[in-house]
A and B are shown apart, each in its own frame.
Chain A
Amino acid sequence: KQEVTQIPAALSVPEGENLVLNCSFTDSAIYNLQWFRQDPGKGLTSLLLIQSSQREQTSGRLNASLDKSSGRSTLYIAASQPGDSATYLCAKGGATNKLIFGTGTLLAVQP
């Protein structure tokens, strides 16, 4: 049973463009929503964590929002750069502390 879904699966944009990555989840019993970046051969880098009581978090060019009622989170990347190219994963945290991940969005930013 897929609880966390990410759309699109892959995205290619020209450098400088603003973009939005989508994450949806089926269970409203959510404690937090965490966004990660995954680079080939490397670990997962935590980008942003939104608590269930919050609506959004910002870090530099990144902004993540959380709408529990609709079961959605978005990651907004402003002024994209080639160095932003990676796989972006969202993960839902529940009462049991384990994270449930989506399958990721593979982002390519073309110079």
Chain B
Amino acid sequence: GAGVSQSPRYKVTKRGQDVALRCDPISGHVSLYWYRQALGQGPEFLTYFNYEAQQDKSGLPNDRFSAERPEGSISTLTIQRTEQRDSAMYRCASSDIAGSSYNEQFFGPGTRLTVL
């Protein structure tokens, strides 16, 4: 079956532009997570959803970052007024059981964002 997909795979933008990153989770997965990974580091948590409800957004760096999952499936991470420090790999993951210790997360290929 299809895994987690993300689009675009690569995004180059100019400083000050807004970008929208899309995540399509594994079909039927309840929970969806966004992470950001800098070069040479492990991914860092940004936010997550159970169904359409945003459960935790404590990892979002500032108010330029927002995420939504309006129908409980596809999610969009939006970065407004991008800055060079936003350049990173943005990863999405999904899992099939909400709020459970059986919470194996499956990751997509990521979107490489470069802000010039």
A-to-B contact residues, CB < 8 Å: 4, 31-32, 34, 36, 42-46, 49, 51-53, 89, 91, 93, 96-104
CB distance from A63 to the nearest CB of B (A): 17
CB distance from B72 to the nearest CB of A (A): 16
Tell me the bound Cα distance from A4 to B95 in angstroms: 22
Across the two chains, which residue of chain A brings its CB closest to B102?
A51
What interface size band does chain B fall in? 20 to 34
- Classify the interface of chain A: helix, strand, loop or mixed: strand
Which of B91, B95, B99 sits near A43, CB closer than 8 Å?
Answer: B91
Question: What A residues does B40 contact at CB under 8 A?
Answer: 103
Across the two chains, which residue of chain A brings its CB closest to B37?
A101
Tell me the bound Cα distance from A102 to B55 in angstroms: 23
Question: What B residues does A97 contact at CB under 8 A?
Answer: 31, 33, 48, 55-56, 95, 98-99, 103
B110 in contact with A43 (CB, 8 Å): yes
A44 in contact with B107 (CB, 8 Å): yes
A-B contact pairs, 7 of them (CB 8 A): A34-B105, A36-B107, A44-B107, A93-B103, A96-B56, A97-B48, A97-B103
Tell me the bound Cα distance from A96 to B42 in angstroms: 18
B84-116 CB mask vs A (1 if < 8 Å, else 0) is 000000010101001101111111111000000
Tell me the bound Cα distance from A51 to B104 in angstroms: 10
Tell me the bound Cα distance from A46 to B55 in angstroms: 23
Across the two chains, which residue of chain B brings its CB closest to A6?
B42
Tell me the bound Cα distance from A45 to B59 in angstroms: 23
Known A-B contacts A46-B104, A51-B102, A97-B55; the reply to A102 vs B48 at CB < 8 A is: no
